[in-house]
Amino acid sequence: YFILTAYSDTGLFKYLYFLIILALYICIIGANVLLIVVICVNRSLHKPMYLFLCSLFVNELYGSTGLFPFLLVQILSDIHTVSAPLCFLQVYSVHTYVCVEFINLAVMSYDRYLAICYPLQYNTHMTFKKVAMLITMTWLLPFIAIWILISLSVSLQLCGNIINNVYCNNYSIVKLACSDTTVNNVYGLIFTFFIIMFPVSLIVYSYMRILRVCFSGCKQSRQKSVSTCTPHLASLINFSFGAFFEVSQSRFNMSGVPNMLRIFLSLYTLTCQPLFSPMMYGLNMSKIYILCKNLLLVGVRNNL
């Protein structure tokens, strides 16, 4: 088993934290399920952009489910231990969530690049077959890559079981190894390049081309492009901030940062992003907002 040492004795406050986390989890489930239902039910939203959004919302549910039930149990527990199989299962779910999120955001930026830079050829390039292939690749590649990563970590001989975090992550386990970790480190670098750096490079390239078209086009096309890309950019920046801090905390000494702030920032990607994304897309994309509003109104009328 592993011992999670980032938890502190909060006394009766643990029940308050439990209620806050539970309320946040319920909001995440409600917001993402609502948008998934809206996209699946309305045939007018069966377009590439909305299908990629649906994939994103499914991933938000998957990632938050990999953390919140575990977190709720640990908050109420007096002994913060976790069995090795459960710990590796959480590592798998958390890491696949992060990778799927990055690749999904990259695919969405590529979709916006085609729609804005090549509007006349968009339907030819972004066919249903290509959309299905991109969504499959978005999910399949991280699941295979993380499976290999976890397999390498499981085979390590560990000389400790203390993880200074509120949940399990792969790098914290690798640091406990007293056997050779060269293969893990090499695979980690290759994995980081193909699963993280390549999608980020694609996003940067896509938005450089999009900005170029926006500044050279008329005011109307510029406004349409900005309104379409704003939720995606906001979601990307929010997710990247949380991911950057989590990587920094794992690799560098963050003892100078207050413990509560460090815990909050380490949870930021897994707690705020699943709620932030549906709010951004639901409120900023008028078509989704109107359909969500109509669906909720119908539900309220039926209950009355």
β-sheet bridge partners, residue 20 = none
Superfamily of domain 2-303: Rhodopsin 7-helix transmembrane proteins (1.20.1070.10)
User: How many CB atoms are located within 10 Å of the residue 23 CB?
Assistant: 10
28 contacts: CB under 8 Å, gap ≥ 6: 60, 61, 64, 68, 274, 275
What tens digit of pLDDT does each residue of 4-44 get? 877 766 667 778 888 988 999 998 998 888 888 888 888 87
- 152 has pLDDT over 80: yes
pTM for this one? 0.86
203 contacts: CB under 8 Å, gap ≥ 6: 105, 106, 109, 236
- 133 has pLDDT over 90: yes
Q: At what angle do helices 84-117 and 198-216 cross, to 10 degrees?
A: 30
In which element (H, E) is residue 129 found? helix 128-154
- 241 has pLDDT over 60: yes
Can you spell out the DSSP letters for 98-121? HHHHHHHHHHHHHHHHHHHH-TTT
Domain ranges of the chain: 2-303
Q: What confidence tier does 170 reach under pLDDT thresholds 50, 70, 90? A: confident
